[in-house]
């Protein structure tokens, strides 16, 4: 536990990590960042694996968890839901509205995130350039952007009001160029993207750790 009872965020600046910096910035709660340099293998350190057995960041420790006792969480979607419930923000407790948020949050967790992650991998990082894989994931991200674009045609945000579903998606859409996408093809998504980036907490969350990454 840290001296000031801050939430500890185990983090590296990537689309999954940004979900949590953005959420914490939106909530305005104090937090301490513990950098997990995934390029250097910090995610395999035994202390980190204690709280994140999947050797992936983000993870958090909240010293002031349920019943006032410490709690740790991994999986960005679970962390967003936990923080949304704890602070009663960006995750409505009305069941119908919560279901709308959950649908789009899980769509991100099971669809946009993994597919965009594979697009990044095969387009940028794989030693071998495999055309089939590049096309498959680029096309799938294109399809998913189309899904968002249609949804955003008649909704300002994915689940109606601004929510953890939007927070989960913005970091991935921020990397659209790496995924071989052109936002001009998706006018409603483009409008949402600009609205999201204009939020100070989103802009700040996307910058946390940038310098650390460049070192």
Ligand X SMILES: N[C@@H](CCC(=O)N[C@@H](CS)C(=O)NCC(=O)O)C(=O)O
Q: How far apart are CA 203 and CA 215, in angstroms?
A: 21
Q: Which is nearer to ligand X, 7 or 190 (CB)?
A: 7
> What minimum distance in Å lies between the beta carbon of 3 and ligand X?
27
Residue among 66, 63, 64, 61 nearest 34 (CA) = 61
Residue 45's CB is within 10 A of a number of other CB atoms, namely: 12
Which residue in 29, 38, 133, 147 binds ligand X (CB under 6 A)?
38
Which residues share a beta bridge with 11?
A: 35
Least distance between ligand X and beta carbon 90 (Å): 17
Residue 15 vs 84, nearer CB to ligand X: 15
Is 14 a binding residue for ligand X by CB under 6 A? The answer is yes
Distances (CA, A) of 178 to 123, 139, 214: 7, 13, 18
Residue pointed to by tokens 């962390």? 79
Choice between 34 and 191, CB closer to ligand X: 34
Q: Which positions ≥6 away from 214 have C-beta within 8 Å?
A: none
Of residues 74 through 93, those in contact with ligand X by CB under 6 A are: 75-76
Q: 113: which residues sit within 8 A by CB, 6+ positions away? A: 15, 16, 168, 172
Rounded to the nearest angstrom, the gap between the alpha carbon of residue 18 and the centroid of all alpha carbons in its chain is 5
Shortest Cβ 55–ligand X spacing (Å): 6
The least distance separating ligand X from the CB of residue 16, rounded to whole angstroms, comes to 4
- Looking at the Cβ atoms of 113 and 190, the one nearer to ligand X is 113
Q: Rule CB under 6 A: is residue 101 a binding residue for ligand X?
A: no
DSSP β-bridge partners for residue 33: 9
Whose Cβ is closer to ligand X: residue 114's or residue 146's? 114
Site residues (CB under 6 A) for ligand X, limited to 40-59 = 43, 55-58
Q: Please say which residue, 50 or 182, places its beta carbon nearer to ligand X.
A: 50
Residues 116-145 interacting with ligand X (rule: CB under 6 A): none
Distance CA 167, CA 162 (A): 8
Site residues (vs ligand X, CB under 6 A): 14-16, 38, 43, 55-58, 75-76
């Amino acid at each position: 536990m840290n001296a000031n009872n801050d939430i500890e965020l185990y983090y590296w600046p990537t689309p999954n990590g940004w979900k949590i910096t953005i959420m914490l910035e939106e909530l305005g709660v104090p937090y301490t960042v513990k950098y997990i340099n995934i390029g250097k293998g910090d995610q395999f350190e035994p202390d980190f694996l204690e709280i994140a057995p999947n050797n992936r960041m983000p993870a958090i420790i909240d010293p002031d968890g349920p019943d006032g006792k410490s709690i740790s969480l991994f999986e960005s979607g679970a962390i967003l839901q936990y923080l949304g419930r704890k602070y009663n923000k960006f995750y409505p407790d009305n069941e119908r509205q919560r279901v709308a948020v959950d649908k789009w949050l899980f769509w991100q967790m099971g669809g946009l995130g993994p597919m965009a992650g594979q697009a990044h991998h095969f387009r940028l990082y794989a030693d071998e350039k495999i055309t089939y894989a590049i096309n498959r994931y680029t096309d799938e991200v294109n399809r998913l952007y189309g899904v968002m674009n249609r949804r955003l045609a008649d909704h300002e945000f994915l689940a109606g009001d601004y929510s953890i579903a939007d927070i989960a998606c913005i970091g991935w859409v921020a990397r659209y160029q790496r995924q071989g996408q052109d936002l001009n093809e998706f006018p409603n998504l483009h409008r949402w993207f600009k609205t999201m980036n204009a939020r100070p907490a989103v802009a700040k969350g996307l910058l946390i750790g940038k310098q650390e990454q460049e070192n």
